[in-house]
A and B are shown apart, each in its own frame.
Chain A
Amino acid sequence: MPEQPVPRTGASGVIHDLGYRPYDGPRNGSGTIASALFLSGFRNAFGLGRSGKSKVLPFLLLALNLLPAVIIVGAMTLFNANELPLGYARYASATQILVSIFVAAQAPVLFSRDLRHGSIALYLARPLSSAAYAVARWAALLAATLVFLLVPIVALYVGAVLAELDFSEQTEEAAKAALLAVLLALMLTGISGLIASVSVRRGFAVVATIAVLLLGNGVVTAVQGISDEQGELRVGEVAGLFSPYSLYRGGTSALTDELFLTPPTGAVMTAAYFAVMVLVGIAGLAGIVLRYRRIAGR
C-alpha cells in the first residue's frame, strides 16, 4: 500500500497511513475458545503444561488411588479368586480421602489462580461470556475428577476380564460403578469448584473443601451409625442426603448389592438420593456461573 498522508484538522500534525491493518481474517468462535479453555484446564488439573513440581501431587494421588486396584488384581490372580474382593462401586468409598484431597487441591488450580492474579480479566476480555468461562473450567475439573475416579475402576475391570470372571456380570457392575462415579464427580466438582471460586487463597479453599467433604461425611456417618444402633433407620436414611459420600453410598446400595449402613429403602427415598446427587451437582455449577457473572460485572 502506498504511503498516503491522511490530513487531519489544523496545521502541523499529520498521521501517516503506513498500511498497518487490524486482523480481519477468519476467527474461531466461542466454541473453540471454550474447548481450548477446557483442554488447558483439564491438563492443568494434572499439572500438565505447568511446572514439574505441580505434577507431583496429582500424579502421586493418582498412583496411590490406583495402587489398591493393582494389589487387588494381583491378589485375585494369585489366589485364583472368582470374584473381586472389593467391588467397583465400593472402591471410591474406600479411597474417599484420596479423592477428596485431589479435588480440594486441584480445584483452586482451576478456579483460584485466575482470580488471585487478576488474569481472569484477560479471559473475560475475550469474546467469551463469563458463563462459558465458568462452564469450561467446571467441565475441566469434572473431567479430571472423572478420570481420577474411573482409572482404578478400569484397572479392576481389565483385571477381572483377563482373569476370566463372568464377563457380563463384571461389565454390568463396572458400568453401574461408572454411572455412580459420574454422579459423585458432579457433586465433588460442584462443591470444590464453588469453594475455590469464592476463595482467593489456595490454602483456605483446600481446607474448607476438605472440611465440607470429610467433616460432613463424618457427621453423617456418625448419625447413620447411631440410628442403625437405635433401630431408627429412617433418621439415618434422611441424614444420608446431607453429604456427597453418604449420597454416593446410598446410591451404591440402591444399584448394587454392596452393603452400607442405613441404605435408602423404598422407591421415594431411593429417588430422592439420586435427585439430590444431581441437584448438588447442578447447584454447584449454577453457583460457579453466578460467581463469575458477578466478577465479570465488576
Chain B
Amino acid sequence: MNSTIIRLSTQALLGRRRGLVLALIPAVVIALAVVIRALTEPGTGYEIVDAIGFTLALPLVALLASSAVLGPEIDDGSIVYLIAKPVPRRSVVLSKYVVAWLATLALGALPLLLAGLVLDSSEPSQAVAWALGGAVAGTTYTALFLALAALTRHAVVIGLLFVLLWEGLLGGLLSGIRWLAIGAWGQEIAASVSDAVTAPGTGLLYAVLAATVLTVGSVWFAGDRLRSFTLRGDE
C-alpha cells in the first residue's frame, strides 16, 4: 500500500459534491429511522434497515466510492501520472480499494448499526447482525465495483444493473440467484448472528467463501488490469 495514493484517493472521494452525496445517502437512512422511532413504538418499521439501508443504500455507497477512487482517472487517462512510478500497480489498486472500502464501511455498513439501534435498542444483536452482514457485503461490493471500474467506462451502469436488476428484480423472482448475489451472502452472514434475520439459504460457509473469493479475485483482477494499463492517443 502507498500512503500518497491513499491521500490522493481520499481527496478525490471526499472532494466537494461527491463527498456530500456520499454522506447524504446514509444520512437519509438514519434520519428516517429517527423519525420513525420518534413517532411510533420501538421495533416498528425495522424493515427499513433491510429494505432501504442494506439493499439500496449500501450498494449505492459502495458503487459511488469505488467508482470515485478509480473511474474518473482511468476514464480520462490521467491515472498515467500516478502509475508511471516505481510503485507496483497492485499496491496502487490495493490502496485505492482500502479507501473505498473504509468509506463503504463507515457510510454503508455502520449506518445499518445506528439505524437498527435507533429503531429498536432493546435488541442490539439484530442491528449488529445487519451491520456485520453489511460490512461483508460492502467489502465484496466495493471490490467488484472496483474491478468493473478498472475494466470498463460503463462500470457504474453495469454495477447498477447488477444490484438493481440482477440482485433486486430478478433475485426477487428467481430464488436461485441467491447463489450469485452479494446481498444474499451478506444477509446469510447477518442471519447467522441474529435469528431475527431470515437466511436466504446458501449456508454460512458458502456465503463466507463466495464473498472472500469474489473480493480477492476482484481486487486481483483490478490490479492486473492496471498492470496492463494502455495509454491511447486522443484521436
* Chain A interfacial positions (CB closer than 8 Å to B): 57, 64, 97-98, 100-101, 104-105, 199, 201-204, 206-208, 210-211, 214-215, 218-219, 222-223, 225-226, 229-230
**Residues in A whose Cβ lies below 8 Å from that of B44:** 226, 229-230
**Residues in A whose Cβ lies below 8 Å from that of B71:** 201, 203
**Residues in A whose Cβ lies below 8 Å from that of B48:** 218-219, 222
Whether A57 pairs with B157 at a CB distance below 8 angstroms is yes
Whether a CB of chain A sits under 8 angstroms from the CB of B165 is yes
Whether B160 pairs with A225 at a CB distance below 8 angstroms is no
Q: Which of A207, A219, A223 contacts B63 (CB 8 A)?
A: A207
Chain A residue at minimum C-beta to C-beta distance from B53: A218
Whether B21 pairs with A218 at a CB distance below 8 angstroms is no
Whether a CB of chain A sits under 8 angstroms from the CB of B174 is no
**Residues in A whose Cβ lies below 8 Å from that of B57:** 215
Chain B residue at minimum C-beta to C-beta distance from A201: B72
Chain B residue at minimum C-beta to C-beta distance from A57: B157
Q: Which of A201, A203, A214, A226 contacts B56 (CB 8 A)?
A: A214
Chain B residue at minimum C-beta to C-beta distance from A105: B157
Whether B161 pairs with A203 at a CB distance below 8 angstroms is no
Rounded to whole Å, the gap between the CB of B40 and the closest CB of chain A is 6
**Residues in A whose Cβ lies below 8 Å from that of B51:** 218, 222
**Residues in A whose Cβ lies below 8 Å from that of B68:** 204
Given contact pairs A203-B72, A206-B160, A219-B48, enumerate 7 new A-B contacts (beta carbons under 8 Å): A100-B164, A207-B156, A211-B25, A218-B48, A222-B45, A225-B47, A226-B40
Whether A104 pairs with B160 at a CB distance below 8 angstroms is yes
Given A57-B154, A97-B164, A230-B40: A210 and B60 interface contact (C-beta under 8 Å): yes
10 contacting pairs across A/B (C-beta < 8 A): A64-B165, A97-B165, A100-B164, A203-B71, A203-B156, A204-B64, A215-B52, A222-B48, A223-B35, A226-B45
**Residues in A whose Cβ lies below 8 Å from that of B126:** none
Render B13-52 as a binary contact track against A, CB cut-off 8 A, 1 for contact: 0000110010011001000100110001000110110011
Whether a CB of chain A sits under 8 angstroms from the CB of B187 is no
**Residues in B whose Cβ lies below 8 Å from that of A105:** 157, 160
Whether B169 pairs with A215 at a CB distance below 8 angstroms is no
Given A57-B157, A199-B17, A204-B18: A222 and B67 interface contact (C-beta under 8 Å): no
Please report the C-alpha to C-alpha distance between residue A204 and residue B160 in the assembled complex, in whole angstroms: 12
**Residues in B whose Cβ lies below 8 Å from that of A230:** 40, 44
**Residues in B whose Cβ lies below 8 Å from that of A223:** 32, 35-36
Q: Which of A64, A97, A98, A222 contacts B47 (CB 8 A)?
A: A222
Given A57-B154, A222-B47, A222-B51: A207 and B168 interface contact (C-beta under 8 Å): no
Please report the C-alpha to C-alpha distance between residue A218 and residue B164 in the assembled complex, in whole angstroms: 13
Whether a CB of chain A sits under 8 angstroms from the CB of B155 is yes
Rounded to whole Å, the gap between the CB of B64 and the closest CB of chain A is 5
**Residues in B whose Cβ lies below 8 Å from that of A215:** 25, 28, 52, 56-57, 60
**Which 9 pairs show the lowest CB-CB distances between chains A and B?**
A203-B156, A218-B52, A226-B45, A222-B48, A97-B164, A203-B67, A207-B64, A105-B157, A206-B156
Please report the C-alpha to C-alpha distance between residue A132 and residue B67 in the assembled complex, in whole angstroms: 34
**Residues in A whose Cβ lies below 8 Å from that of B52:** 215, 218-219, 222
Rounded to whole Å, the gap between the CB of B125 and the closest CB of chain A is 22
**Residues in A whose Cβ lies below 8 Å from that of B161:** 101
Whether B40 pairs with A202 at a CB distance below 8 angstroms is no
Whether A214 pairs with B40 at a CB distance below 8 angstroms is no
**Residues in A whose Cβ lies below 8 Å from that of B169:** 97-98
Chain B residue at minimum C-beta to C-beta distance from A106: B157
Whether A203 pairs with B155 at a CB distance below 8 angstroms is yes
Whether B17 pairs with A225 at a CB distance below 8 angstroms is no
**Residues in B whose Cβ lies below 8 Å from that of A218:** 48, 51-52, 56
Most buried by A among B63, B155, B160: B160
Rounded to whole Å, the gap between the CB of B59 and the closest CB of chain A is 10
Whether A202 pairs with B60 at a CB distance below 8 angstroms is no
Please report the C-alpha to C-alpha distance between residue A208 and residue B161 in the assembled complex, in whole angstroms: 15
Q: Which of B32, B154, B155, B160 contacts A210 (CB 8 A)?
A: B160
Please report the C-alpha to C-alpha distance between residue A104 and residue B51 in the assembled complex, in whole angstroms: 21
Whether B160 pairs with A208 at a CB distance below 8 angstroms is no
Please report the C-alpha to C-alpha distance between residue A203 and residue B149 in the assembled complex, in whole angstroms: 10
Rounded to whole Å, the gap between the CB of A135 and the closest CB of chain B is 25
Please report the C-alpha to C-alpha distance between residue A230 and residue B44 in the assembled complex, in whole angstroms: 9
Chain A residue at minimum C-beta to C-beta distance from B169: A97
Q: Which of B17, B32, B160 contacts A222 (CB 8 A)?
A: B32
